[in-house]
Every structure is written in structure tokens, then in C-alpha cells.
């Protein structure tokens, strides 16, 4: 089993979000956080190889604070429903930083080839963009990463 992302849409009109309102303990056998009980939609997607790390290092920094709030780097981030369409569009094309990050991983003897990492990153980016387009105004999208080895 691989690591995966939990994608949740929650009704709220508050932006930016208060990190204290979205606690997430990243440790073994952590139950779902209470705020997730009121989700209007929840889904998950598998992660493959280093694509999530590349996404977090190279695409997330390009999003502005009206689009995305990183509450815990690589683990928990929120997306504003009011700007979700613009955010989804801003993920394309792949920035040069992503291509350089992939090349660096391959140079450092990644078990994944550059083509495999790029394909996985494109699939992840496109899936997240489709999900973002479903976040309506007055809602937020919450992305949580689960490490299969810890749960």
C-alpha cells in the first residue's frame, strides 16, 4: 500500500483559515480530526514515488495566500473555494523549478526515472486541479497526507 492524500471539502466562509481550527496530529493510529466530520465531500488518492514532494517544493510556493494556506508543510494544506478555479489553472504548465527538481532527484540516484517522476507529478497535478474545480465558494478544500507506514 502506498501513501495517500485525503481530500475533503468543508463549508466555511472564513479565509484565511486559522490553523488552530484544523488540528492534525501526524502520528500512528490518529483518528480522523473532528472538523472532518462535517465534510460535504471526501475522497482519497494514492501517491506514487516522489511526486508529492516535488509538488510541495515547486508548485505550492507559486500559489498565493488567497488560494492556498499551508498549515503543516507536506502534510496539511487548505484551498480557498472562492479562488479554487484560478488556483487549479495556475498549476499548469509545470514550472521550470519542477523540472529542475526532477532532474536533481535523478542525479541523486532516485530509484525512479525522470520520466516516471514527471508522469506521476502530472497525474497528481491534474487530479488535484480537477478536485479544486469542485470546491464551491463559501467552502474550503483540505488536503491531508497519510503515510501508510504510520497508519
For the segment 53-102, what is each residue's pLDDT rounded down to a tens digit?
999 999 999 999 999 999 989 999 999 999 999 999 999 999 999 999 99
| Residue boundaries of the structural domains of the chain | 4-150
Long-range contacts of 81-85 (CB under 8 A, 24+ apart): 81/9, 81/135, 81/136, 81/137, 81/138, 81/139, 81/140, 81/141, 82/15, 82/137, 82/138, 84/132, 84/133, 84/135, 84/141, 85/132, 85/133
Nine-digit cell string for 3: 501513501
Dihedral sign (CA 3, 45, 29, 72): positive
Is 34 exposed, middle or buried (CB count within 10 Å of its CB: 0-12, 13-18, 19+)? exposed
What is the reported pTM? Answer: 0.91
pLDDT tier at 28 (50, 70, 90 boundaries)? Answer: low
Amino acid at each position: 500500500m502506498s501513501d495517500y492524500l485525503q481530500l475533503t471539502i468543508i463549508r466555511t466562509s472564513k479565509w484565511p483559515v486559522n490553523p488552530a481550527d484544523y488540528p492534525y496530529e501526524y502520528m500512528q493510529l490518529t483518528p480522523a480530526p473532528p472538523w472532518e466530520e462535517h465534510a460535504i465531500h471526501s475522497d482519497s488518492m494514492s501517491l506514487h514515488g516522489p511526486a508529492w514532494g516535488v509538488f510541495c517544493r515547486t508548485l505550492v510556493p507559486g500559489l498565493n495566500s488567497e488560494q492556498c494556506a499551508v498549515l503543516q508543510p507536506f502534510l496539511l494544506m487548505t484551498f480557498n473555494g472562492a479562488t479554487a478555479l484560478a488556483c487549479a489553472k495556475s498549476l499548469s504548465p509545470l514550472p521550470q523549478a519542477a523540472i529542475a527538481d526532477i532532474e536533481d532527484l535523478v542525479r541523486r540516484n532516485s530509484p525512479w526515472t525522470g520520466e516516471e517522476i514527471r508522469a506521476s507529478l502530472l497525474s497528481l497535478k491534474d487530479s488535484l486541479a480537477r478536485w479544486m474545480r469542485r470546491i464551491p465558494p463559501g467552502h474550503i478544500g483540505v488536503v491531508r497526507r497519510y503515510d501508510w507506514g504510520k497508519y
